[in-house]
Amino acid sequence: MKDKIIALVFIIFISICGTCLIYSKLSEINDTKEYSAGLELYKKGDYKIAYRHFGKVSLFSNIKTPALFRQARCATLIGDVNGAIRNYKMLLFIYPHSQLYVVSEYNLAMLLYDLKSDSARKHFVHIIKYYPDTDYALASEYYVASIDMKSAQKCNIYWIRKDLKHKALNHFIRYVKLSPDGRFVQQSINKISALGIALNHNDSFALAESYFIRELYSEASKYYSESPLKVAWAKYAKNEFKRGNYSLAKSLTENGLKYFSTFVDRQDMYDAIDGYVSLSDNKLQTVTVLLNTYPKTKAIDYLLYLKAKYSEGDIKYKIYEQLYDKYPDSNFSAEALYNTFYIQISKKQYKKAILLGKKHLSHFKKSDTSPAVMFWLGKIYEHKHNPIISSNYYKGVLTNYPDSYYSYRAYAKLNKNKDLFIETNIKSKPVVFPCEDRNERDMASRLISLGDYDFVSELYKGNKFVESWILYKQGKFVQSAIIAEKAMKNIYPKPKFDDVRWRLVYPLNYFDIVEKYKNSQDPFLILSIIREESHFNKDIVSPVGAVGLMQLMPATANEIANAYGISNNLLNPDSNIRLGSLFYTQMKTKLFGKDIYAVIAYNGGGGSVVNWINTLKYDDIDDFVEKIPYPETQSYVKKVMRSYWCYSNIY
């Protein structure tokens, strides 16, 4: 009997679970159906019926939050303010940890503000306090200031009115400082003027900054002239250079370098110096005069750097040595020390080079030149027949700077790969939602599958990888790759190559066409050239007339098309990649079958490469690349190699 009861309970339990599972599945299907219907109607402008469909999404659905948000938007658009307020309040109460909390509270505050409700200020202040790094907090500063200003205008008690006006001023100024080119900045400045309160020097400086950033240089000049000279001179000088008021700009720069160089932002001071030097026909002479005239200025390191830049031969490197020795903590010391390090390698002074290289790695762990120093130390020890130390440096490049050109070269050295390129086993991987949280990923993917891009963008405002992903899904490959690349630059240490965010930085755009026309070339190499040449912009035309994905000149494309009897439409991806791949193959054939030479020639020209091969003094291909006399071409080949290396690792 007992066994029968247990069996019966088990059967009932299984039945309930099955029923719940079926109900859950049916509910999910129904929720998707209702949300999708609501979204279609929302896009068509039928907000009233859309509101009803969004309201039918079940409470426990992972798209209930966006459904509530959409309902509030619909209610707002049909003029049902109370309905919108009710939906926003429900969202805030039920889902306090939602990504939509801050935007919902902001929208609620705006509705209350339009209704002239006293509770609007409370919500704006809450956003400023708990979400200070959001755009909503910036806008809230403006609205709190506007509320206080209106309250002051209504108040008849002098000291309360005065206090409210100063509160309003403080919020307006904070908005201008935090968002100098924001959408409310001019209204803020106009209202500051209407308050009738005399500005202090720092407030005048904030207003000047706003006008300068918005390129309203005449207006900026007025407020810069009212700002404290010791903190404003560099930006004031930059402003006057922009206005063409060169005499005042030069005077400000000279006096600033002499008396006030410790009080301003260094980059502003460097920009003022650049403006000053740009007016001269003999830049080296001008920089030398500034060095001799203002030997105690805090910009002395930058002036030395400029002197090295405009000098030639051994003098250049002596100045670099002087710059590092005297100013080891300067922003330019890492590059200066690298240059002195590399010149010692060129002179075969390996002991000196090792000391300088180790000093560089000790002082500049995250500088742009660190991977180059680590790689070349590995080469020095390899030359000195010390494979253990050499290997450690190469591995250090791979570990600390995995996506650099030098990491690629370190890999080649560790694997005794004398050819620059490696064999690849390509595995196509999809671009997926770049978020680790499974619930968020599922909700976002579900919304995207319904075509609700706007909402996901709102949901993850500020997340650059999500922004990149949305653009990718919309087919906006150029903006997607650029945003993802900038976001990845700010990450240290870098994630492993299996991290899905890398696929946004290095996507397989147009790879099917590349595979079709690769002409026995490595497809990742062709793709890397496309990435660096055009960033996947099929319609781009350069200032010199190069067209399309592989940036071919029309005359070159015509020659290839005529030679092979094929069509020539450089704005068509298929035609452009076919012609570009053939052009690359031609150059590689002419340049001894070496890919590295062909990549260099793609930017610098085949004739230049042949000339450099015959005239430059170099030990191997690494030394050759470092001695390419065109900075643009040297940078280009390193970028293409870096892209090739990253593609090979990611896929």
Q: Is the pLDDT of residue 24 over 50?
A: no
Count of Cβ atoms closer than 10 Å to residue 595 Cβ:
20
In this structure, are 191 and 72 located in the same domain? yes
pLDDT for 423:
55
CA distance 360 to 85: 60
Contacts of 342 (CB under 8 A, 6+ apart): 353, 372, 376, 626
- pLDDT at position 93, please? 94
Cα separation, 415 vs 427, in Å, equals 22
CATH code (residue 108): 1.25.40.10
Answer whether 608's CB lies under 8 Å from 632's CB: no
Split at pLDDT 50, 70, 90, the class of 9 is low
Whether 406 contacts 375, CB under 8 Å: yes
Bridge partners, residue 552, by sequence: 547
Select from 196, 220, 239 the last residue of a domain. Answer: 196
| 192 located within any domain | yes
pLDDT digits (tens, 9 = 90+) for 209-218: 999 999 999 9
My answer on whether 25 and 148 are in the same domain is yes
Reported confidence tier of residue 308, pLDDT bands at 50, 70, 90: very high
**Shared-domain flag, residues 14 and 114:** yes
Q: Do 185 and 211 fall within a single domain?
A: no
Average pLDDT over residues 168-191: 95
Handedness of CA 245, 246, 250, 256 (dihedral sign): positive
Report pLDDT for 22: 47
Q: What is the pLDDT of residue 60?
A: 84
Q: Which of 470, 505, 540 is the last residue of a domain?
A: 505
- Per-residue pLDDT, averaged over 226-237, amounts to 95
- Is residue 56 a part of any domain in this protein? yes
Kindly report whether the peptide bond that precedes residue 493 is cis, defined as omega within 30 degrees of 0: yes
Q: Are residues 112 and 214 in the same domain?
A: no
Model confidence pLDDT, tens digit, residues 133-151: 888 999 999 999 999 999 9
Distance, in Å, from the CA atom of 364 to the CA atom of 358, rounded to the nearest integer, reads: 10
Burial class (CB in 10 A: 0-12, 13-18, 19+), 465: buried
Which sign, positive or negative, has the C-alpha torsion 115, 121, 124, 127?
negative
pLDDT tens track for 370-424: 999 999 999 999 999 999 999 999 999 999 999 999 999 999 999 886 554 555 5
Residues 191 and 206 in one domain: no
In the block, tokens 């922009």 appear at 242
496/541 same-domain check: no
pLDDT, position 448: 75
Q: Is residue 400 part of a domain?
A: no
Indicate if 490 and 545 belong to the same structural domain.
no
What percentage of the chain exceeds 90 in pLDDT? Answer: 79
Residue 639, domain member (yes or no): yes
Decide if 364 is inside a domain.
no
Q: CA-CA distances (angstroms) from residue 46 to 42, 55, 72, 520?
A: 6, 15, 14, 55
Could you tell me which residues are beta bridge partners of residue 547? Answer: 541, 552
Quote the pLDDT of residue 35. Answer: 92
| pLDDT(435) > 80 | no
For Cα atoms 520, 529, 642, give the angle at the middle one, nearest 5 degrees.
105
**Number of domains within the chain:** 4
Range of the domain at 450: 438-505
